[in-house]
Amino acid sequence: MIRCLEVSLAIPDNEARTALATLQRLGVALGGLERSDLYRCDVDEAEADRLVATLAGLETVYNPNKHVLRVRESDRPGAGEVWIDEIGAERANSGAGFVRVAGRTLPGVRSLERFTAWRLSTEAGLPAGPAVVTAATETLLCNAAFQKALHA
C-alpha cells in the first residue's frame, strides 16, 4: 500500500515566508505559502500503522519540538499544491530487502520517495488555482534544470 507522510514545521518557516514575499514581489497573486517534506512510501499493509512511529523516531527527520507529522489522505498533490522532486533522484528501494532513512531501516517499506511540498493559498485562505500554482512553480519554486514538479 502507498502511505504518504508529511513533516511540516510547527514554528515559523523563514524559507516559506521568503518565498512568499519574493513571489508576491514578482506579481504572483498569493496570500499564503506553506512548505513541508513529504515521504511517499510503498509499505506492507501489516507495517503501515507502525510507519508513523518509525518515522517519528528519526531525529534527523522529525523533531517533536518543532515539527508536525501527519498521514495524508492522498498520495498525490491536492488543490493548490505542488510537489518538487529532483530529476534523476535516487529512490530508496528495497532491492536489498530493506529501505534505510537517516541510517535506520524502515520495516516493511519497499520504496520511498521524498518531495518538497508547497501549499499555495489565496488572500481568502482558499487553495490557489492551477494557473497561480503553475506561475509560482515556474517563477521560483521549481528549477527545471534539475527539478520536476508534480501538480494536482
Domain extent, residue 69, equals 2-151
| Percentages (nearest 5) of helix, strand, coil residues in the chain | 25, 40, 35
Q: Residue 20 has what pLDDT?
A: 98
Q: How many domains does the chain have?
A: 1
List, in sequence order, every beta strand (DSSP E) within the chain.
Answer: 2-9, 32-43, 67-71, 81-86, 92-93, 99-101, 104-106, 109-121, 147-151
Please give the average pLDDT of every successive group of 10 residues along the chain, which has 152 residues: 96 97 97 97 90 90 95 95 87 66 86 95 97 97 95 88
Q: Residue 96 has what pLDDT?
A: 56
Q: Residue 91 has what pLDDT?
A: 67
Other C-beta atoms lying within 10 Å of the C-beta of residue 146: 10
Q: Which three cell numbers stand for residue 98?
A: 530493506
The CA-atom distances, in angstroms, between 105 and each of 93, 116, 145 are 11, 22, 32
